[in-house]
Amino acid sequence: MRARIWEEVVVIPTYTTGEPNANPMFFENRVYQGSSGRVYPYPIIESVGDTKEDRPYTAVFLENDYLKVMVLPQLGGRIHRIIDKSTGEDAVYYNEVIKPALVGLLGPWISGGIEFNWPQHHRPTTFMPVSYLINEYAADGKVSVQLGDTDRMYGSKSVATISLYDHKAYVEITGQLFNPTQFSQTFLWWANPAIAVNDYTQSIFPPDVHAVMDHGKRDVSSFPIATGIYYKHDYSEGVDISRYKNIPVPTSYMAYHSDYDFVGSYDHQKQTGILHVADHHISPGKKQWTWGCGDFGKAWDRNLTDENGPYIELMTGVFTDNQPDFSFLEPGEEKTFTQYFFPYKHAPRIINATKDVLLSLDEQSNLSLYVTSPADLRLVVASSTGQYLINKPLTLKSAEYYETKLKSNKKPYTISVLTVEGETLLSSTIQDTEERPTLPEPAKAIPEPKCIETLEELYLAAVHLQQYRHATFRSEPYFEEALRRDPKDYRCNTAYGELLLRRGLFERSETFFWTAIERATKHNPNPADGKAYTLLGLCLFHQQRYQEAYDAFYKAIWDGKQQEQGFLHLGMLEIRKRHFQEAESFLQQALIRNSNNLTVRSYLALTKHEQGNHLAAEEQRKEILKIDPFDAFALAATHKESGTEETSFRYLALAAFYADVGMYERAYAVLLPVESNNSMVSYYKAYYAIQLGDEKEAEALLKHAESLKDSTFFPNTLDDLKVLEALASTYEQLWKVHYLLGMYWYDKREYQRAKDAWECANRHNSRHAKTLRCLSLVYFNQDGDQEKAIRALEQAFRLDSQDDRMLYELDQLYKKCARAPQQRKAFLEQHPDLVFRRDDLLIEYITLLNLNQAYERARELELSHSFHPWEGGEGKIAAQYVITHIELARQQTDGKQAIALLKQALSYPENLHEGRLEGNKDNEIHYLLGCLFEQEKNHELAFFHWNMAVRGELTASGVLYYYDQSPHQLLYKGLALRKLGRETEAVRCFDELLEHGTNHMNDVVQIDYFAVSLPDLQVFTEDLSKRNRIHCHFLIGLGNLGRNNLKEAEEAFRKVLELDPAHSEAKRMFLSIV
């Protein structure tokens, strides 16, 4: 059959999620997948439900004789299913339900199929609709669906084309990545196929992959046999980590290097697998992620599916080899690539592959070929002396395999697959011995600016931090240190000016560009690099100093590298003057430099239209749609819609496209069909009405905008800024304009400007809760004024007492300001409905119950509520569950009941939706069980549990960031050692606690440079050095408790509780003494 494509409504059982939160979230220091977890201007969804309902989805199906592919544009454009029709098996993990868990950047994320992650991992829009277009049949015998998406954070665009051909047994994915913005952007692309796994599953990496690396290349392991500690698990005996069954803990690994084009997975029982093929020169990324085969992983499997079991993610990176590893996309640039996925069979150990043929050779010399296209081939196996071991012609159909066994295994020999014309398709030489290269060194953290020796290294460090979107290290201090040493350094002035310009700090940035130009033109007026002139032109353009901008852009085009952007903006400035012929000339020059620059093409079509050349304008629009079928300008001109992508953002961008060249009538007209429930749309229209001299219409629009309820559309672009600032300067009484302006500035880290804007908004409307909530962030995070922050947030919550997020933040603020747990508990008990809406708030309440020794009530809630943790934030409810059962056991007078409670604490009920990590040794529980069995005169079980309690390589560590064991477990290890008569080892545990606490008390602490996941959705900053002091006092208390220095222990725990009254473990230890 010929390949075919169609749309069909499918019904999929779907679990519910919460609604997007209308409070803007500024997660300035959140770490997500090794880079910034910033979400603004997107709203977040903070909850997923347990209610399942049948929900219709419009699916796109592609099918030929070999494969059937299902795509879901409503869920990020993911491939939901690939069926291998030759076996009837699913080639990728097929999840029969849509069961989101809190894994995504913005919250909900689902497992299964192939997810396309861009411009970061996981993609922001993974759980959102994207635009799509079906191409029913092309001349080259294929059908395809194109999926378009625009990133609201930075403005980059992507088009992914998924294709099936008539006679080919592979899925082709062609990617196009565009940067239509005025600035360089960064991106990565990871296609993320999920693979069903079992004890027979193996990840198939190329034969030259001998080392794999963790996120950020912070750690390294040999591969496939791991021989050391990796992800805190001991593989020192030599363990094959290409096998799912051998990895008990959540683990990522990425190939350090490979010269091969493939990566895949294979089920040795079914004898089937899936392979990815792409040119390794631009697709070096080869990664495996697993939740692990232990209890922890099984819990996450249950969180993400009902019946379909465990999976791994076998990720394939383009223009990236690690996470994070971002590449640049220059203004106007398009990057393209092609990836292939296909099922295969009877090929257990692939040694080489292309999209058309793969070659497998296992350790028993079984040789097999598999082809995805009809092929007449010749298989040649030749010894090093030229003797043919095999020289056989083969004719294979698509999705067929050929197997044989080599009769001689004398090495070296070469296996080649050739066409009948003699062209080599694949060739691999099998050596007698294999040299394994030395393992690469892990990456090293960038030092503090003052510790970096040269200006160049400071500049490169700053660029790297920007490029990799580092979550906690900022580029500014590195630029500032460089400019302190050399105030006129060209590169640092240019780059720092660009950083300020991106934020909308036009006047500040201008100074740096002029300084850069002064240095560059010191010896002659024609510098080798003209980027400072281009950026100066943009800076002046945004300040509406158009003639000065014109001069700067004209000078910029003296540098060939700047001509594309220079000619583009010269053309735009000529359009402003309605000099359309001159504009066309400039734009043609820009197009010569980059024929796929869609902004250039759009303005070129506009100039032709304005000159009356409508046919040429239409041809230009058609060319645009060939490149990007979702281009807003071309679609608007042809009165077509681009599908399901969020409309307000697209329309505002198109309106700004016209406004940038002074065509306010068209800008206004673009927004007429947009629904008016978005304040930003009304503000844009009002601004354009003012430019057109229609004050009456503007005032009506402004009044309407101010009356609208808060939406989840937050301002982010320079165009948003210009509209809001223009309105704010003319109409100070427009409180909502100032509220939105404050959001913009806070996100850009211009905190004083944000504060001024929000305080102005509050003066004109003191009853807007979200303004007060935002002010509390400034007062606490920037001003350090705890009382003022509390007053603002308390007033906000009084005004909107049904906002559960606001209640959570208010309780967290109380917690950070050391409010007594009894007071916090009483406060939350005034709002039970809100507490039960949020898992994080309910966990805080359960924690407060435990702190107030209300253990029975805590246990009741722990066992009756269904919790849903964020990935990376596991352990909070599990910790309280354990504390509850331990303390209830301590209260028992019946030893058997106490033992039963402690044994319950060793495993978690499914409603917690968490599993125990393999490294969690539960030292305290086993120590207490040993003591109880000792009381019961059962010495055999007592010694068994004490021996269990001394397991694990526990150390007195620093402040905890992830789901590690609390250091109090080291105390119980020491106490168990004492029970076993190993006093010297016990004292060593206690002394380690004391020494660490004493030696590190005054450390200045910051978040680890290589942190991978800090998922807490906290908006109030943490004093990490204070947190460290609390931790060190706690360690000192533990060490003294082990040493039986009870007075010193009590004093240390008292200090902890003075600084942090909600420190659960310190409270327990304190109560055990007093």
Tens digit of pLDDT for each residue in 418-443?
999 999 999 999 998 778 889 999 99
Collapsing DSSP to helix, strand or coil, 609 comes out as: helix
Asked whether the CA dihedral 176, 178, 184, 185 is positive or negative, the reply is negative
Determine the straight-line distance between the first and last CA of the chain, rounded to whole angstroms. Answer: 81
Start-end of CATH 2.60.40.3080 domains in the chain = 359-430
- pLDDT tens-digit profile of 677-702? 899 999 999 999 999 999 999 999 99
Determine the residue type at 1042. Answer: G
* Residue percentage of the chain with pLDDT more than 90: 92
Amino acid at 934: E
* Residue 961, pLDDT score: 46
pLDDT at 962: 47
Closest CA to 375 of 389, 359, 363: 359
CATH of domain 359-430: 2.60.40.3080
Q: What is the 3-state secondary structure (H, E, C) of 943-1005?
A: HHHHHHHCCCCCCCCCCCCCCCCCCHHHHHHHHHHHHCCCHHHHHHHHHHHHHHHHHCCCCCC
CB atoms within 10 A of CB 20: 17
Phi, psi of 287 (to 5 degrees): -135, 145
Burial of 407 per CB tally in 10 Å (0-12, 13-18, 19+): exposed
For the cut 60, the answer to whether the pLDDT of residue 645 exceeds it is: no
* Cβ–Cβ under 8 Å, residues 929 and 899: yes
What letter would DSSP give residue 911?
Answer: G
> How many whole angstroms separate alpha carbon 613 and alpha carbon 570?
21
**417-443 burial code (b ≥16 CB/10 A, e <16):** bbeeeeeebbebebeeeeeeeebeeeb
Q: What residues form DSSP beta bridges with 54?
A: 13
pLDDT of residue 857: 98
Q: pLDDT tens digits, residue range 604-637? A: 999 999 999 999 999 999 999 999 999 999 998 7
Chain CA centroid to CA 266, Å: 28
Q: Which of 68-72, 224-228, 962-966, 987-991 has the lowest mean pLDDT?
A: 962-966
> Phi then psi for 225, rounded to 5 degrees?
-90, 110
CA 181 to CA 957: how far, in whole Å?
Answer: 45
Q: Give 643's pLDDT tier (boundaries 50, 70, 90).
A: very low
pLDDT at 191: 98
The answer to whether 821 and 848 have CB atoms below 8 angstroms apart is: yes
CB 675 within 8 A of CB 651: no
Over the stretch 811-866, which tens digit does the pLDDT of each residue have?
999 999 999 999 999 999 999 999 999 999 999 999 999 999 999 999 999 999 99
Strands 189-196 and 131-135: unpaired
Nearest to 117 by CA among 289, 249, 296: 289
- What whole-number distance in Å separates Cα of residue 845 and Cα of residue 151? 37
Q: By the 8 A CB rule, do 5 and 60 touch?
A: yes
Secondary structure element (H or E) that encloses residue 186, with its range? strand 185-187
Separation in Å, CA 790 to CA 574, 630, 762, 781, 814: 53, 47, 16, 12, 8
| pLDDT at 644 (0 to 100) | 46
SS3 377: strand
**Chain-centroid distance, C-alpha 832:** 33
Residues in CB range of 938: below 8 A, 6 or more apart: none
Helices (H) and strands (E) in the chain, counts: 35, 39
Residues of the chain with CATH 2.70.98.10: 4-201+258-343
Average pLDDT along the chain: 96
Question: Contact 617/594 with Cβ under 8 angstroms?
Answer: no
CATH number for the segment(s) 4-201+258-343: 2.70.98.10
Task: Record the tokens describing residue 370, joined without a space.
Answer: 């598999």
In this structure, are residues 62 and 34 in contact, taking their beta carbons and an 8 Å threshold? no
